[in-house]
Structure 1
Amino acid sequence: MLHLLANIFLVFHFFMPLPGGAVAAVPQSVNGEMRTLSFIGTHADDAPVVTIAADDMYPCDGTAVNFTASVENGGVNVYQWLVNGRAVGGSSPTFSLQNANPKIAAEDEVQCVVTNLQNGLVGSSNKIMGIHTREYHIPTIELYFITNTSSTGTKAFCAGTEVTIGTALHLNYQDATLNYTLQWHVNGVDVPNRNNAFVTRDLKNGDEITCTFHITAKCVGVATAESNTLKVEILPNEAPSVTITPESDVCIGPPITFTASLTGTPGVVNYQWRVNGNPAGSNSAQFSSTNLKNGDVLSCGITNTNGCGISTAVSNEVTIDGAPSESNSVSITSSKPDNIIEENELITFTAHPQYAQNLSYQWTVNGNSAGTNSATFSSATLTLGDKVACTVTTADKCVLPRMAESNVITVVMLVPVVIPNTFTPNADGVNDTWKINALLAYPDCVINIYNRYGSMVYDAKSYTGGWDGTYKGTALPAGTYYYIIKPTKKGPKYSGNVTIIR
């Protein structure tokens, strides 16, 4: 009897109280044997009801998400966490899911299965998915014109127009804790505006608008982005000013030209010139006339049309006060009849200008400067075929032209007539023409050239520099041609052949 009581005492001595009125037994040694004692509880026939919750559905990159399981109708519980159906973690009411390598994806599914060891019943929790890992994205901001156009860059506005500039912000975050601010700048100077749109009537021509975007967010701390730059062109509502000036000296007689110059920002401009208050000229920025007289008053009015409206302006007045124009020309002569000299013979050339005051002279021989600033030029080194000319220039007003070119005198020498029998008209600069410079001494000479069929291919009255081997502008083929040259009407003639080599 005592033995039985001892056994009963031992059984109840190892009972453990549990929540809800249940007791559980643990394995213990009874009379030298390991036994598991029975469970007694108020919910012995109910399965666990399990609910899980996550501490963050939008974790930062690399931050773990913690889950907690709450159980009703439980006893001694065993916890099994599942991620996408795969067993993970230990038997604990909490579970930490790491968010790196790999990161948690929105389609990942987390669940907890609880087994009540008291009655062997199992309860499955709700499933949690849709966790979005935030990755850091650099924020951006773009400014654009809302007034008149949505384009970026440089835009024109009328003075006083209200200009509205909008912002396109790119955040790439889903976070209720996200905060951002905007700081607008005009020409780099902060302005008291932190709104998403910038509205003003105070911009000046050339102003540049920018904006700084500050963002504070859970996963990024503080980030800053700078916008693009918008530039404004402000069109004045008034017409540009206009000034008229002559292009050169005002001289009575030749055409006098005036030009209207605009200052400001013109649009479409119409011009109306006036002489003594009467309309004159055409709708042009230039006015030219040969009929202006001293005392005439010239002006120009403009009508300017742009997107800001129509405006008008009138130029300064110019009273014509010009000098009569004089003509400038020059001819030269030589000291030798027919410009014929002997070898090393001195010859003098004289310039005869039409306008003889305040002149400068420039002599040339074969296009190269020669002589001095004088009305005469002398030389004993000229030879057959040299070409002499003179240019006279004046700085005096109303002399036209201010630079005049003379006639050209070709120096002639009486030398034997030597006729070449070949030339090579291939444009290499060497022997390209059939030259007989001795003929320069015979201004009335006649030159005829024929092909082998007797057809004339060249006919010249007076020698002018040689034959280039063409007929009516077309190059003749290589071959032999035949000439007849008459230096004078009554003197002897020369005949023979010349070969073109190509």
Structure 2
Amino acid sequence: MGYPVYVWDDGSSTPERTIYGSGTYWVRYGSVCIQTVDTYYIDMPDSNISVHNNDTVVCIGSVVDLIADDVEGYVYEWMPSEGIADPASPVTTIEATESRTVTLKVNYPGCDPFYRSFYMEVKEVPVVEMPASTTICLGKGHEVHPYIPGADEDYSYSWVPAAGVSDPSSKDVILSPELTTTYYLTVNSGAEDCDVVDSIRISVIPNSIDLVNNDTSLCSGISIPVSVEGHPLFTYYWAPEEGIADPHQANSSITPEASGWVTITASREGCDDMTDSFYIDLQPVPEVNAGPDDTLCGGVPYQLFAGVIPDDYEFYTYEWTPSTFLSDGGVKNPWFTSYTASEDLILEVRTPIGCSSRDTVLLTVVPKRSVLLNVTDTGYCPPGMVQLEASNADSYVWIPGTGLSDDSISNPVANPDESVEYMVIGYTEGCMDTQYVQISVYPQASLYVPDSVTIYAGEVYEVDLASNASYYSWYPPEGLSDVNIANPLAGPYVRTRYFVTATTEHGCTLTDSIDIVVDNGYVFEVPNAFVPGNGFSDNGTFRILKRGEARLDRFEVYDRWGVKVFETSDIEEGWDGRYDGKTQPMGVYVYIIEGSLPTGDKVHLQGNVTLIR
């Protein structure tokens, strides 16, 4: 009969076979000669039950749907069952209270159970602590470092509005708004709807103050208010403190002790100090002494000597009244000259804003004869002279004696080196009389022009003339822009000698000349190096300097590889060191210049120029 033989429908030949699903199966078995076929129907439940939940991250307190395939005949059990609404239902919910693995156990009667699992990570609702508000100055920023316990890399941040935030998606930021702004920070711990919002208000105060006071002038002893308009959060300090009622108040008063600047400084922590100032010109109230009463001869100059305290103030004005017999009623120590009348003179001394005081002096005049002069104020151009003559006295003294032929005669000749006012004193019967005459010595005319200047054909030369004169006359007029000014433009066609006569305001004259030499040649000049873009000298552009009548036909620049980097026929244009819009490297470049002369001759120049950076 032989050994047993087994043949299954899948071709296997073992007595046993593993079945993986429901269906009809057959086997042929027996000896080699006699075999039997049996057929079997196997009903096997499906173990491919799916749970439709993936690993997830949720916020604590959230309710999560648990969903599995609902197949009849299966028994379901969600584990662990804490927080699950119906652990035996394939579709139910779970409340997220902590992170854990959720497992579904599926059982079919008579079969081994199988399991499906997913991980549910539960995130805590963030806790955010940061200041509710703060204040900054315009242009400054405030660092915010919220305290968020338990924050990790899953946390995300969003600041709104984003304007003025250094990084709207960062936890730690610098807030720099231009206006007072409330910023909202939304913090999410890594799960949907697991976020919290907190806010901080940044109040922005100005970074400036307005000083009410302007520069002012005061009489000594006067108080004035000082005031500044600024934010109430600033602290204020007036300096110097001397004379200020309260230097730490925005509104105070000052009784200055000296002229100077008064400065207000506004401060606040985190802000730059703000300062402004105004100047107080403190003017003294003078104490005036017009001098002692006195008796004098009529017609004799008598100088008044006034005393003023304080005497170091520079800007007093003086007013003597009446001023009829005074040399100048507006000076401190005038000369008094009266022939017969006695005077009570009042001196009032004032500062520019009217701080004033006055005093009186009595001058009693003994009448006398007056000295007579034959000349009035006059003057002359050196060399010259003036004949003086006094009369109606017994003897004479001229003061000063400088420039006089004799200072003790009635009719000296005056020939001073500089302008002078002469006083002649005539003595008669014990009294004296004085007269004054101004002899002005007018400055001699001074004049300088170069001996000669060379220009090229077609050029003009502005004459470099130095003189003290007021009026000028040039000859010949041909080739001059103006014959009556100091510095005319000279552009003659041929060599010309120009003569100029300079006349001062007092009629003193002087003549000189200058030769203008005309060179009919030409010059093309180029530098040997230039620095492109140099705004501090004239070599920022490589260009031609032309003199004389020549026309530029071609001006080209080549680099060391023979590439033409610049060309022009305009004498006013130059190379700025760029080619095709790009700056060229430092190095040596070759230039070619071609031009034409009025004669038709051609000019050709070639050389090197160094570009320096």
TM above 0.5: no
TM-score, normalised with respect to structure 2: 0.33
Greater relative CO (CA pairs within 8 A, separation 6+):
1
The structure with more helix, counted as a fraction of residues: 1
